[in-house]
Amino acid sequence: GGLEWRVTGFSNHHNHELLRQDEQMMRIMELEKCVQPGSLPFTEKDVRNLIHSFRRFELEEESVDLLQMCRNVKEKDPNFKYDFTKDANNCVENIAWSYASSIQSYEVFGDAVVLDTTHRLTSIDMTLGIWIGMNNHGMPCFFSCALLREGNLQSFIWALQVFLNFMNRKAPQTVLTDQNMHLKEAVQKELPNTKHALSIGLIASRFPSWFNAVLGRHYNDWENEFYRLHNMESTMDFDLGWSDMGWLLCREFQK
């Protein structure tokens, strides 16, 4: 057969920490100008501000394109709904939309919904909020979508208000979210008669980023034990198992 390469070891002894984008640009320009580090007539902060200004311009273009897309869809389908807010610089701050078919689906299957806000689109630096439910065939159905510049209380309140407006002020009986405290407060304020529960799926999706590094080789066992406890019917057995899991986490955190 052909040649085969295998990595059998790694030495970090001569490696250096990765540079931030502004630091990288500074080092590249210093090399191009053949000057000593720190000899350029501007600082890393100046470069960082320049990068930020470019990034804001790109974000504004992305938001404007999305707003124009909604306007185009609205022209073709008068029943399409969208709403948005702008900030002090006249840039799109929040935007949400829903299709006529989604609103019809919500009328039938909107008793229990999931609001997933666990994703942030790095390309435009906005929190993505998706309203979904389940139809009579057990298949997920899309209700609405929102992009929020900030994941704060005001943004979530706006998103909930707009969603209710889209759905003709019909509130769901149950809404499932992750454990975001701002979102929890917004639900209490805008959906006072709706049961708010935490979605195990949304929470569990963050387990690797929370516990993988801490638990190391124990992570898979811990995760399996979590799901075993989650499916328990005995309160006493659950409490005992949960206490043991907490002890394991505390022990690993203290190492």
pLDDT value at position 112? 94
pLDDT value at position 14? 43
pLDDT value at position 105? 94
CB 133 within 8 A of CB 143: yes
CB 183 within 8 A of CB 198: no
Whole-angstrom Cα distance, residue 225 to residue 205?
16
* Total-model pTM: 0.64
pLDDT value at position 197? 92
Per-residue DSSP letters for 67-109? Answer: HHHHHHHHHH-TT-EEEEEE-TTS-EEEEEEE-HHHHHHHHHH
Q: Could you list the mean pLDDT of each consecutive 10-residue stretch along the chain, which spans 255 residues?
A: 60 45 47 51 50 45 70 93 90 91 95 90 83 87 91 95 97 93 95 92 79 82 86 87 76 62
Residues 6+ apart with CB under 8 A from 112: 133, 134, 172, 173, 174, 175, 176
pLDDT value at position 30? 46
pLDDT value at position 251? 67
Residue type, 204: A
pLDDT value at position 120? 82
pLDDT value at position 24? 46
Please say whether the structural domain 79-201 has been given the CATH code 3.30.420.
Answer: yes
* Domain ranges, ordered by start, for the chain: 18-76, 79-201, 206-255
